[in-house]
């Protein structure tokens, strides 16, 4: 455990060399160049894998997980890379039926750091934390001997460091809405241009987009790149079923047999902090919904399984549309407490600011420390009630440690809990 923690701490510490890139579109657009340069120093591990690339405003983590399960059920050696992690860095890297071996990850990190030293000595630009993590993933997956890799985009698509891969078999665009407008554009149309940027050549394009004009944009790019396109409808607005259907289409595009897909759908367990039931009496649900579209999905699921009074612990990143998110869950909530996460990329919104967005008849306490909010709410809720922790994956992951520790995840190479 100590070697793993030390290696991760060494890697994370390197992020203080780079200028905060989110404030600069120009720096974001240099991401691919920086990442390619470092991968070249490491003998281009990305050339040894087959890729399925996944982007979208919401659902991309779940779709990535489902595709992984389907490839695994078809007896393929597969890895997947997702972000952010909820509790520990290891959770970003999955190899076959477990998280990556911590010892192997340590070796990959040290190889990347050694290459990075040469990269910097040669006078090249420093990489961001996410860019370094992407390189670690590609190195680790080759070391693990997998054939397939399912990559989740970190931000947008066109300039995201995951788009460094030379060829992809499938490009998945789950949906497109307003998010990260500071970098991707102020309209859905502008954001679509960035996300469809993962279509870089001939491949199968699978999309859950429903806006006619955005579908046309995807078709135009696919035609230009000689890629095929399949649009997947959302039955009755059920986002979970929609995710499963998109993953199925992606898996079929690479020849996964239908019986393997059916097995995977029966066996697949959800990702941590994605409407995860982690406690009972009271029922505790941890959900990292962090935009309006995700929160509407959370509210719909909550309606279908409402148990007792609903106590909400809410915190989000500064700059998010907190009012819209709160409006989605407000009709269901008995009381909403506001708080913040301790650490994560980007500052949290002030809990006092969030509290003012909530009507007085539903306004709970404003907490500076999320663990204190959790202890209070668990003490107040009856065994027949429901506690919902939401608004941010960082907040969800922080409070999840009340039930699942970092040490247990690393030891088991699994984030899953039994319910």
CATH number attached to the domain at 276-400: 3.90.190.20
pLDDT in tens, 293-348: 889 889 988 988 868 999 999 999 998 899 999 999 999 999 999 999 998 778 99
Q: From CA 18, how far away is CA 384, in angstroms rounded? A: 49
The arithmetic mean of pLDDT across residues 90-118, rounded, is 97
Q: Six-digit token pair at 16?
A: 């203080």
Kindly write down the DSSP assignment for every residue of 3-69, as one continuous string.
HHHHHHHHHHHGGGGS--GGG-HHHHHTHHHHHHHHHHHTT-GGGGSEEEEEE-SSSHHHHHHHHHH
Pairing of strands 93-95, 78-81: antiparallel
pLDDT at 190: 82
Beta bridge partners of 73: none
- Dihedral sign, Cα of residue 45, residue 46, residue 51, residue 57: positive
pTM value is: 0.89
pLDDT band at residue 240 under the 50/70/90 scheme: confident
pLDDT in tens, 190-236: 888 889 999 999 999 999 999 999 999 999 999 999 999 999 998 88
Within the chain, which residue ranges are assigned CATH 3.40.1190.10?
Answer: 2-271
**Closest of 150, 159, 6, 35 to residue 83, by C-alpha:** 150
pLDDT at 393 over 60: yes
Within the chain, which residue ranges are assigned CATH 3.90.190.20?
Answer: 276-400
Q: Six-digit token pair at 268?
A: 């697949």
Q: From CA 378, how far away is CA 317, in angstroms rounded? A: 24
Multiple choice CATH, 2-271, 3.40.109.10, 1.10.357.10, 3.40.1190.10, 2.60.40.1840: 3.40.1190.10
**Closest of 344, 316, 268, 312 to residue 86, by C-alpha:** 344
pLDDT at 21 over 50: no
């Amino acid at each position: 455990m100590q070697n793993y923690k030390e290696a991760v701490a060494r890697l994370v510490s390197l992020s203080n060399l780079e200028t905060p890139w989110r404030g600069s579109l120009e720096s974001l657009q240099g991401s691919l160049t920086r990442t390619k340069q470092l991968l070249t120093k490491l003998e281009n591990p990305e050339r040894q894998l087959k890729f399925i690339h996944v982007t979208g405003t919401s659902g991309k983590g779940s779709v990535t997980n489902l595709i992984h399960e389907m490839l695994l059920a078809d007896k393929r050696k597969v890895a997947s890379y997702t972000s952010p992690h909820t509790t520990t860095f290891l959770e970003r890297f999955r190899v076959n039926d477990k998280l990556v071996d911590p010892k192997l990850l340590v070796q990959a990190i040290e190889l990347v750091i050694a290459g990075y030293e040469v990269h910097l000595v040669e006078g090249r630009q420093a990489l961001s934390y996410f860019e370094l993590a992407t390189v670690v993933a590609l190195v680790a997956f080759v070391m693990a001997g997998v054939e397939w890799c399912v990559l989740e985009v970190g931000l947008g698509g066109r300039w995201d460091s995951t788009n460094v891969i030379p060829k992809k078999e499938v490009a998945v665009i789950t949906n497109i809405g307003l998010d990260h407008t500071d970098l991707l554009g102020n309209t859905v149309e502008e954001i679509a241009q960035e996300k469809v940027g993962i279509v870089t050549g001939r491949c199968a394009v699978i999309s859950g987009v429903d806006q006619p004009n955005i579908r046309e944009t995807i078709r135009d790019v696919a035609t230009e790149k000689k890629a095929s396109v399949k649009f997947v409808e959302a039955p009755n607005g059920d986002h979970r079923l929609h995710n499963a259907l998109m993953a199925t289409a992606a898996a079929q595009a690479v020849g996964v047999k239908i019986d393997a897909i059916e097995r995977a759908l029966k066996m697949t367990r959800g990702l941590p902090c994605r409407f995860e039931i982690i406690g009972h009496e009271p029922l505790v649900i941890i959900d990292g919904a962090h935009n309006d579209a995700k929160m509407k999905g959370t509210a719909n699921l909550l309606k279908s399984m409402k148990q007792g009074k609903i106590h909400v612990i809410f915190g989000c990143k500064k700059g998010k549309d907190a009012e819209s998110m709160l409006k989605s869950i407000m009709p269901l909530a008995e009381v909403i407490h506001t708080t913040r996460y301790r650490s994560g990329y980007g500052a949290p919104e002030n809990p006092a600011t969030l509290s003012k967005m909530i009507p007085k008849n539903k306004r709970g306490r404003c907490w500076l420390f999320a663990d204190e909010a959790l202890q209070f709410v668990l003490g107040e809720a009856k065994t027949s009630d429901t506690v919902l922790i939401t608004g941010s994956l960082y907040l969800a992951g922080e409070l999840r440690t009340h039930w699942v520790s970092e040490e247990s995840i690393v030891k088991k190479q699994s984030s899953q809990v039994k319910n």
